[in-house]
Amino acid sequence: VQKDSPNAKEILIAVGGGTGAGTGTGSAKMDRDLIRRMRYQDKVVLVLMLAAYFIALMFTASLAYRQASNSSPVRFYGDPRVEDLMTDNADADDFLHVFAQPPRSVQLCIQGMLPVPTLLAHLVDGSLEWQGCFYRHVFSFGLDLTPFIVHEEEGRSSGLEADGVETLRKFLREDVNDLATVQLVKEVSWDRWEELATNIKHKIRQKGFDGLIHVSWRNTETLTVYKNRTWANFLHRGITRVLLALSVVGYMWYAPYMYFRQRGPEVHPKFKVDIDIESYWQLIGEKINERGFDPQ
């Protein structure tokens, strides 16, 4: 015969009545009753601990949400890891005037490397493998091109095509998604820069360096612009991500939610290096040697 399930009164008595003694009392009925009480009490303790844990998480989240709200007139702000820019205007022209500024991290990068015997590669700090051989860095430097960056077309302060401006204008005027962002992918062009790279390699080899020389240039920079809204600020805060991770299941919701909700327009302002390679070579040619670059 199956025993009836205990009612609420019996469970409360078992939880609140304590055990009073250990098992092995000599009475099978009393031992079963004590074991049942301990099981109920263990479950209640576990539930209370989980409740306290999640209440603490929610309380901390509420404090973080309060801190995310502000009375600032700023409506949009750029990713501070790239550029600390902001504006209180939703007009497309003003928006581009603030955020579509020339990129600040455009560099011509030159690296010189010498081969390392394969057996010794693991003993050399920073050794790298390229085309089946190992190399170590001898010199590495970057030539800043920022002072020479201008918008690609004169008279177009944003460096953006007309359809891109219209897409942005529609977003600023109509979008109601607090989490939507604008991606400004700033692209820089430089006519005949490959010839300059060849000249640099030739000059370094003339000075006596016989290793591998790699010349490249960093010609793109992406700036993400966020809305200054409480919900968006709250979800972008590091403490929010920590709390969601501690909640175990919260991050499973957070990642796809942010992926889909952060989607917004991507615009491509165009820039160029406004100095020809002959003039630039006059600035750097005498300072290049077998050790890389000597600014003196």
Domain that holds residue 117: 76-293
In a domain, 254, yes or no: yes
Identify whether residues 139 and 46 lie together within a single domain: no
Work out the pLDDT band at 10, boundaries 50, 70, 90: low
Identify whether residues 200 and 278 lie together within a single domain: yes
Identify whether residues 52 and 165 lie together within a single domain: no
Burial-class residue 161 by CB neighbours within 10 Å (0-12, 13-18, 19+): middle
Who has greater pLDDT, 132 or 252?
Answer: 252
Give yes or no for a contact between 115 and 134, defined as CB atoms under 8 angstroms apart: yes
Average pLDDT, the chain: 84
Burial-class residue 28 by CB neighbours within 10 Å (0-12, 13-18, 19+): exposed
CB neighbour list of residue 50: distance below 8 Å, 6 or more residues apart: none
In a domain, 1, yes or no: no
Angle between helices 193-206 and 277-284 (to 10 degrees): 30
HSE (side-chain half, CA atoms, 13 Å) at 245: 6
Work out the pLDDT band at 83, boundaries 50, 70, 90: confident
Domain termination residue (choose one: 50, 68, 86): 68
CA dist., res. 63 & res. 84, Å (int): 25
| Residue 271 phi, psi (nearest 5) | -135, 170
Tokens of 257: 């939610």
Burial-class residue 42 by CB neighbours within 10 Å (0-12, 13-18, 19+): exposed
In a domain, 3, yes or no: no
Among 144, 142, 132, smallest CA distance to 111 is for 142
Among 99, 104, 96, 95, smallest CA distance to 79 is for 99
Reported residue count of the chain is: 296
Return the percentage of the chain with pLDDT > 70, whole number. Answer: 83
pLDDT tens for 172-207 read 999 999 999 999 999 999 999 999 999 999 999 998
Among 82, 146, 155, smallest CA distance to 274 is for 146
Report the SS3 class of residue 198.
helix
In a domain, 18, yes or no: yes
Q: What is the pLDDT of residue 39?
A: 77
The mean pLDDT value for 117-144 works out to: 74
**Beta 107-116 vs 212-218: how paired, if at all?**
antiparallel
The mean pLDDT value for 96-109 works out to: 90
The mean pLDDT value for 218-244 works out to: 92
Report the SS3 class of residue 266.
strand
In a domain, 223, yes or no: yes
Tokens of 277: 């390679």
Identify whether residues 23 and 120 lie together within a single domain: no
Q: What is the pLDDT of residue 73?
A: 92
Residue showing tokens 């099981």: 39
Identify whether residues 89 and 116 lie together within a single domain: yes
Lowest mean pLDDT among 7-11, 143-147, 148-152, 226-230: 7-11
CA dist., res. 274 & res. 97, Å (int): 20
Identify whether residues 80 and 42 lie together within a single domain: no
Identify whether residues 207 and 95 lie together within a single domain: yes
Identify whether residues 61 and 174 lie together within a single domain: no
- Residue 8 pLDDT greater than 90, yes or no: no
Identify whether residues 19 and 58 lie together within a single domain: yes
The mean pLDDT value for 264-289 works out to: 91
Identify whether residues 53 and 178 lie together within a single domain: no
Domain termination residue (choose one: 68, 86, 104): 68
Identify whether residues 38 and 93 lie together within a single domain: no
- Residue 89 pLDDT greater than 50, yes or no: yes
CB neighbour list of residue 43: distance below 8 Å, 6 or more residues apart: none
The separation between CA 165 and the C-alpha centre of its own chain, rounded to angstroms, equals 26
Work out the pLDDT band at 2, boundaries 50, 70, 90: very low
Who has greater pLDDT, 41 or 104?
Answer: 104
**What residues form DSSP beta bridges with 218?**
107
Residue type, 180: A
**Beta 133-144 vs 212-218: how paired, if at all?**
unpaired
Identify whether residues 157 and 277 lie together within a single domain: yes
- Residue 118 pLDDT greater than 50, yes or no: yes
The mean pLDDT value for 35-58 works out to: 84
CA dist., res. 136 & res. 100, Å (int): 38
Q: How many domains does the chain have?
A: 2
Domain termination residue (choose one: 46, 68, 90): 68
